[in-house]
Chain A
Amino acid sequence: MENRDHIDTTLNHLFRQESGKMVAVLIKIFGTENIEMAEDVVQDALVSALETWKFRGIPDNPKAWLYRTARNKAIDIIRRKKHSKTIDFSDPQKQLLTSGYTLKTTMNNFWEEHQIQDDFLGMMYACCHPDISQENQITFILKSLCGFSTKEVAKSFLTSEDTISKRLYRTKEYFRKHKIRPEIPNKSAIVPRTEAVLSAIYLMFNEGYNSTNADQLIRKDLIGQAMLLCRSLLSVERTKLPEVYALMALMCFHAARVDSRVTTEGSLVLLSKQDRTKWDIALIQSGQDYLNRASFGDRLTMYHLEAAIAYEHCQAKYYVDTDWNKILEYYDLLLDIANDPIVFLNRSLVILELKGPKEALKVLDKLKNNKLLENYYVYHATLGEVYYRLSDPTLSKVHYEKALQLTQSKWEQQFLKDKIDSKR
């Protein structure tokens, strides 16, 4: 009998990589009005694998085994539902699923390797339809295309399974009502539609990178899946846009540093204190490759600039080697693209490094009374630091304490408490 843990690991890995593609193909077959049917088939295939492999061992080609099983289960369903109205067979290609003469061959054609990637991406674009809220987009992507369980999605968002089920239901209803067809948008729409997809991927990545409450496994999973989704956009000619390469580069640079951001006891480590020997050199190298390939075309996006900034940090051997002037240039360009107060706030930290606390305070003064920042703990933590360096411990403490009230994360709270204690 095969080792149970080994089967679990193999299946889990396979499932994260392949379940989304299988679901996408099955949705193409059953229609977007039958998403649950597609998910159930994939789930069934997984259960079959667990049961069969337990006794017969892992097959030589587990991926092919899983696909074949899903395909055969789909054939069973078509046979059973042929005369019900659940599945719409009116499309000429699908009509051939209704006869024994053509069912198997037609089914096999749906599973042609070169089509699967297109179907998967088509489904991703469908999920990121502008009418669906970003929260619902990501929830749906994680559940249907990344093979997360409802429980795992709930953990990723630090919310209840009930909330997640409701979000999934709403998205499925939307698909059902509007009969959304999963497809890669045509040339005229590809840029704005890809923007929505990238934004969802980046949010998913940040959920893994920043959400300090979720457990480690889930966080790594989110990071890995976000990178997998982005890489899949780079596997199809039509979706190889410069900004896709740029986001890929950005995520590589961030992911390279993920292990040095937190101590083994679980407290945050500032960039200046991170052990740079822990950074993943191979990932930084791939980030660099992606960034080089991102520089075709005439578009300079925020992903390009954020990647360039992250690259500067990765490249500095020690914190003191950081090229703050270059980073400031990138921030200025970034502000030209998006006049975002958070970008402005981050830029003030660069000013603090380059020109000292007085200049930084001048810059921060322009953000006074900004409602968004007033409730953002980083804004107050920054002010706390600036006042501390200006030898104003009273105001420094006020802002650090305000920051402490504003974050829910235990890591960040601990980090801020340490700051307050050390500066007493």
Chain B
Amino acid sequence: MKQFMFLFKGGDEVWDNKSPEEQEIHMQHWQEWIGKIAEQEKYIGGERLYPRVNTIEPGGVKVTDRPLVEAKEIVGGYIIVKADTFDEATEMAKGCPGLQWESSVEVREVWPMED
């Protein structure tokens, strides 16, 4: 089975404008979605990220602490899952609850380890 990373982008503003109760319900949806993937033994792991960004520019000298990218391009987190095909992974990603809160999901195949 191949591994895929789902990158969740944007949606931070929507999150910030919701009440704690709404946020809690939203996180239950995440739990249900990831829970189902885990039940099929296809979940590997993942993390949520804070929106603050520092970018080290090429060359490694200049540091920008304000992202030039738009808010909707900021990666808010990722998870890694197992799937047989790119299409299967893409279908899986469509269940992400963040999509309802203006996040987008980028599906990427993980480069396998060299034998």
Cα(A420)–Cα(B58), bound, Å: 100
Cα(A106)–Cα(B47), bound, Å: 15
Q: Which of B24, B39, B46 contacts A99 (CB 8 A)?
A: B46
Cα(A109)–Cα(B24), bound, Å: 13
List of B residues within 8 angstroms of A106 by Cβ = 31, 35
Chain A CB within 10 A, most for which of B35, B41, B47 = B35
- A102 adjacent to B31 (CB under 8 Å): yes
- A105 adjacent to B31 (CB under 8 Å): yes
List of B residues within 8 angstroms of A297 by Cβ = none
A50 sits at the interface (CB 8 A): no
Interface string of B33-74 (1 = CB under 8 A from A): 011001101010111100000000000000000000000000
For window 86-111 of A, CB contacts with B under 8 Å fall at 92-93, 95-96, 98-102, 104-106, 109
B100 sits at the interface (CB 8 A): no
- B79 adjacent to A101 (CB under 8 Å): yes
B85 sits at the interface (CB 8 A): no
Closest to B8 in A: A101
B30 sits at the interface (CB 8 A): yes
A residues lining the B interface (CB < 8 Å): 92-93, 95-96, 98-102, 104-106, 109
Given known A-B contacts A101-B27, A101-B79, A95 and B38 have beta carbons under 8 A apart: yes
Cα(A101)–Cα(B39), bound, Å: 16
Interface string of B70-84 (1 = CB under 8 A from A): 000000010100000
Cα(A102)–Cα(B96), bound, Å: 13
Q: Which of A95, A98, A100 contacts B77 (CB 8 A)?
A: A100
Using C-beta atoms within 8 Å of the partner chain, give the interface range for chain B: 10 to 19
- A102 adjacent to B35 (CB under 8 Å): yes
List of B residues within 8 angstroms of A104 by Cβ = 27
CB-defined A-B contacts under 8 Å, sample of 15: A92-B39, A92-B43, A95-B38, A96-B31, A98-B45, A100-B47, A100-B48, A101-B31, A101-B48, A101-B79, A102-B34, A102-B35, A105-B28, A105-B30, A106-B35
List of A residues within 8 angstroms of B46 by Cβ = 99, 101
What would 14 more interface pairs be, CB under 8 Å, given A101-B47, A106-B35? A92-B35, A92-B39, A92-B43, A93-B35, A99-B34, A99-B79, A100-B48, A101-B30, A101-B34, A102-B27, A102-B30, A102-B35, A105-B27, A105-B28
- A99 adjacent to B47 (CB under 8 Å): yes
- A92 adjacent to B38 (CB under 8 Å): yes
Cα(A378)–Cα(B82), bound, Å: 70
List of A residues within 8 angstroms of B48 by Cβ = 99-101
List of B residues within 8 angstroms of A95 by Cβ = 38, 43, 45
